[in-house]
């Protein structure tokens, strides 16, 4: 395994190692560091929003200090920054420390790129953006995004776009039993955009999905000065053109009774690899099933063909009233378990 992947995991599993390093070990100049949030990354240059509490927040361009050369800094990271943090034209500040992350959304890329990537840090909600048509929805992709979110301890919102092109009902029915909230949008319907906004208020949400599903279109509707480029979907292949090329965090404007929040636009992905997700971790997202599975044999895969899986006993023991809901829960869990290994 690549060194970087190992390092990233170690950092997540034991955040205290880097995060709570005694202050005395820091160079004195770092004591007066300011805190910024990374909103964009472009070829070694980090765009930060710095808020010192007294002044208006400002946008600062920064690079990593040499001691962080091997450390990944991603959109959503809170960092300590020193040097010229005025944000004036031509200035470049220095990131000297990454603060502990409250969440890490990761994906294993594809066959040509086996490394584990951190998509975004400190987000609390994953918005799985799926077009109802153009490109055609793929449940495997949605399932894997749901698994990734559960694994990261994030909430999930399924956003079905392009409702002018197809009926959302079948997909909605598929995700209700898993407890995934669903919102349906169409470009020419402002009310549907407001429905999304109300679910993003006060949170940090990251939009993820195939290219061309309308992530940037939605961001532009939510954030008036976002000015994200959008691209048409190819008529023949039904695929997007990978218009967005890097993740960008944007502040959501405050509505009349809303808190603000952050939304992160990300580049379209072909797949959302989950090689890093463990069965037990996924099971924790299904509290009711986790309790049942405590009676499973050691090493149980919990899949349909697993011998003596307690989930099957639980189904068999249910009353006629209980059965449909239980079956839907177990089926959803098993579908997600299987989804970890499918490529899309
Ligand atoms: N018919 C229809 N088209 C839409 C809707 N929303 C977005 N589109 C179109 O879908 C195309 C792709 O939109 P983008 O916002 O660029 O998609 P994206 O998900 O950001 O794509 P990448 O940046 O490549 O990942 C554009 O031509 C949009 O105009 C909708 O509700 N209905
Ligand atoms: Mg885009
Ligand atoms: Zn089991």
Residue closest to 119 by CA, chosen among 72, 71, 156: 72
Q: Do domains 34-98 and 104-265 have the same CATH topology?
A: no
User: Could you tell me which residues come within 8 angstroms of residue 37 by beta carbon, excluding any fewer than 6 positions away?
Assistant: 48, 49, 76, 77, 78, 79, 249, 262
d(CA 138, CA 340): 14
User: Rounded distance, CA 152 to CA 95, Å?
Assistant: 25
Q: Which atom of ligand 1 is nearest to the CA of 186?
A: 31
Provide the pairing of β-strand 248-252 with 93-98.
unpaired
Measure the CA–CA gap between 27 and 47, rounded to whole angstroms: 24
* Neighbouring residues of the ion ligand 3, judged by CB less than 5 Å: 296, 300, 302, 309
Query: Residue 130: CB within 6 Å of ligand 1?
Result: no
pTM of the model: 0.85
pLDDT for the residue numbered 11:
40
Report the C-alpha dihedral over residues 244, 151, 129, 127, rounded to 10 degrees. Answer: -90
Ligand 2 is an ion; its neighbours by CB within 5 Å are 215-216, 243-244
CB 175: neighbour CB atoms within 10 A? 21
C-beta 326 within 6 A of ligand 1? no
Q: Check pocket membership of 162 for ligand 1, CB cut-off 6 A.
A: yes
Handedness of CA 277, 282, 284, 285 (dihedral sign): positive
Does the beta carbon of 135 sit less than 6 angstroms from any atom of ligand 1?
no
Helix (H/G/I), strand (E/B), else coil: 316: helix
**Which homologous superfamily does the CATH classification assign to the domain defined by 104-265?**
P-loop containing nucleotide triphosphate hydrolases (3.40.50.300)
- Using DSSP's 3-state secondary structure scheme, residue 264 falls into strand
- Enter the DSSP assignment of 67: G
Give the distance (Å) from ligand 3 centre to CA of residue 289.
Answer: 9
Domain 34-98, CATH homologous superfamily name and number: Nucleic acid-binding proteins (2.40.50.140)
Domain ranges of the chain: 34-98, 104-265, 279-341
* pLDDT of res. 18: 45
Q: Is the CB of 101 under 6 A from ligand 1?
A: no
- Residue 111 is predicted with a pLDDT of 47
pLDDT for 295 equals 96
Residue 151: predicted pLDDT: 87
pLDDT tens-digit profile, the chain (344 residues):
343 443 444 344 334 444 454 555 555 567 789 999 999 999 899 999 998 776 578 999 999 999 999 999 999 999 999 999 999 999 999 999 999 999 999 988 654 556 778 899 999 999 999 999 999 999 888 988 988 998 898 999 999 999 999 999 999 988 887 789 999 999 999 999 999 999 999 999 999 999 999 999 999 999 988 889 899 998 888 888 889 889 999 999 866 555 589 999 999 988 888 877 888 888 888 888 999 999 999 999 999 999 999 999 999 999 999 998 899 889 988 988 888 766 55
Beta carbons of 73 and 82 less than 8 angstroms apart: no
pLDDT of residue 175: 87
Any idea which ligand is nearest the CA of 294? Answer: 3
Length of the chain: 344
Residue 222 in tokens: 């939510």
């Amino acid at each position: 395994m690549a060194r970087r992947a190992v390092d990233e995991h170690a950092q997540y599993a034991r955040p205290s190692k880097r995060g709570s390093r005694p202050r005395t070990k820091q160079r004195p100049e770092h004591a007066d560091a300011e805190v910024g949030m990374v909103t964009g990354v472009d070829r070694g240059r980090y765009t930060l929003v710095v808020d010192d509490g007294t002044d208006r927040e400002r946008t600062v361009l920064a690079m990593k200090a040499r001691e962080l050369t091997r450390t990944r800094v991603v959109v959503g990271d809170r960092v300590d920054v020193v040097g010229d943090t005025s944000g004036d034209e031509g200035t470049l500040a220095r990131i000297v420390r990454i603060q502990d992350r409250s969440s890490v959304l990761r994906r294993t890329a594809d066959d040509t790129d086996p490394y584990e990537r951190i998509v975004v840090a400190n987000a609390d909600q994953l918005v799985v953006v799926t077009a109802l048509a153009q490109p055609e929805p793929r449940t495997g992709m949605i399932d894997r995004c749901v698994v990734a979110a559960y694994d990261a301890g994030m909430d999930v919102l399924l956003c079905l776009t392009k409702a002018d092109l197809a009926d959302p009902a079948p997909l909605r029915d598929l995700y209700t039993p898993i407890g995934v909230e669903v919102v349906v949008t169409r470009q020419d319907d402002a009310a549907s955009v407001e429905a999304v906004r109300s679910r993003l208020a006060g949170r940090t949400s990251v939009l993820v999905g195939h290219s061309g599903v309308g992530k940037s279109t939605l961001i532009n509707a939510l954030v008036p000065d976002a000015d994200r480029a959008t691209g048409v979907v190819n008529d023949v292949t039904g695929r997007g053109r990978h218009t967005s090329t890097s993740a960008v965090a944007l502040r959501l404007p405050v509505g009349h009774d809303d808190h603000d929040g952050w939304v992160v636009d990300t580049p379209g992905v072909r797949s959302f690899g989950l090689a890093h997700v463990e069965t037990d971790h996924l099971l924790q997202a299904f509290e009711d099933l986790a309790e049942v599975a405590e009676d499973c044999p050691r090493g149980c895969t919990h899949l349909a063909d697993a011998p003596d899986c307690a989930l099957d006993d639980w189904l068999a023991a249910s009353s006629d009233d209980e059965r449909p809901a239980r079956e839907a829960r177990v089926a959803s869990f098993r579908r997600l378990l299987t989804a970890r290994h499918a490529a899309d």
